[in-house]
Amino acid sequence: MKTSFAFCFAFLLLITTACREEQLSRPLPESNELVNADFDPEAKLQELGIRLPKAATPVANYVNAVRSGNLMFLAGKGPGKEDGTYVTGKLGADLSIEEGYEAARLVALSQLAVLKAELGDLSKVKRIVKVHGMVNATPDFTNQPEVINGFSDLMVEVFGERGKHARAAVGMGSLPRGIAVEVEVVVEVE
């Protein structure tokens, strides 16, 4: 029995190692491989019927974006509504997952507005690299990923493959001024 267990274990280890080596040997797509000559996020926004808001002015001692080389780091933004107010409240108490998803989508619009203001043209975005999504939630709320999907889904709708990103979606005990969601973004640009 011990011999057959050892044999099975060794066989599984060999297969797992071979599969892992094959995965590691496959190159990850580079940002320049995602470039498409007919890529036009501005046209995609029009097609989706989306009008970007004006980029919000920071309310404290920070700037909307800092560029370092070909990376742009966008400051955290909240879910601003057209009337100038924000979606506030806690997920798990005041807001449903669907309302949180829509709030995260509003944050995506705000971050797109910042990118547009900084770059002049969204086609200069090579890739959405990293998203850090924070959800104002009760201690027992565990659906942060579903809420932050509101942000991520819009990035993919607008940028296609360039919009796919690494991400964190975490719960917070509170967020500034009681906003429901805040998202920071790292973007690779031309």
With cut-offs at 50, 70 and 90, classify the pLDDT of residue 12.
Answer: very low
Q: What is the pTM assigned to this prediction? A: 0.81
Residue 25 clears pLDDT 70, i.e. is over it: no
Q: Residue 2: its pLDDT value, please?
A: 55
pLDDT (tens digit per residue) in 78-136: 999 999 999 999 999 999 999 999 999 999 999 999 999 999 999 999 999 999 999 99
Per-residue pLDDT tens over the stretch 69-85: 999 999 999 999 999 99
Residue 59: predicted pLDDT: 84
Contact 170, 141 (CB under 8 A): no
